[in-house]
Structure 1
Amino acid sequence: MNNIVLCGFMGCGKSTVGKNIARKSGKKFVDMDSYIEEKAGMRVSEIFEKYGESGFRDMEHEACRELSLEKNLIIASGGGALTFARNVEVFKQNDVIVLLDVPLDTIKYRLRNDTKRPLLQRPDKDEAMAELYEKRLPLYQAAADVTVKGEETPLGTAFAVMDAVRLYSK
């Protein structure tokens, strides 16, 4: 296993937990959306505006391919990245995919004051989140090699991920 790839719904803690794992393990943390933004020289929202979702998904796939070739990374995947089989296949070659499983009610609570995610800037955000969550959760579950409950503190969840990956890798 080269890398740990964290997947799960927005607000499940991929970035926060990932940074904790990196700090405790000595590995490097990479946020996939930030990686794509840096390579493209524009924000994800701008990529969507200029190239559409399919253009973004192509850049995302390229990022998956590039990152999977690296070693000792903790990767916070984008919320939709591992809903695509081609990205899952790339990571499954060398890496372990960990689902941070957090109930929808907890995610809604965590994101109650979010002003950055475009999906949440709408009057029916709870319904939209529920619909997307129900659609994506089975895809995350199918992609994951390991599932960890993500309701602990970020540090507690980080240790749970590290333990689960250690057991998986034996």
Structure 2
Amino acid sequence: MVRIKGVNSDYEYSTEKGKILEKHPDQLYMRIFICPNNQPSAIDQREKDQACCEGKSASCPGDKKSGHAAITLHQKEGISLQTDQAQLQLEQDGSLVLKSSQGQIAKIRASENGWEFCSNGASLKIDKNGNLELASANGKTITFKGDVNIQGDIQGKLLETIKTMVDNAFKQK
């Protein structure tokens, strides 16, 4: 066997028949991966009870549980690059998604109106005119480190808060 593997939606090895069988699934995919354990893939010949590697360290039947990497082309899910620690996926809708092994997800999406970056419920939107919208998750804190320079008008709650602070400062004197 080799350590560079490949599987796809149209073929699978049958341990009962001892040969590769053609399939006709609804969704097509192709996956190229490396298995440092040199384990068989779904299209490699193997014994009836022998598990196969799917290109993921966590599910590999081999001894080493790290060092796997994969590239997947999928008709519905798009293109993904995967390692032990993260997955980068270009979805069919044009979104770019980064998933960490700890469950963190960040998504960048383009639309007619501009770009949006989302993670953990927070978002940053940049429209086609260059306007920015920064939103925290469920009213969480937004912190700026360093100097903040504002050129232009301040509107909304921030303006009212600043006015109140100035008024209170003068009342104390």
TM-score bracket, shorter-length normalisation: under 0.3
Of Structure 1 and Structure 2, the greater helix share is in 1
Instruction: Return the TM-score normalized by structure 1.
Output: 0.21
Larger Rg: 2
Instruction: Return the TM-score normalized by structure 2.
Output: 0.21
Q: Which has the higher contact order (CA 8 A, sep 6+)?
A: 1
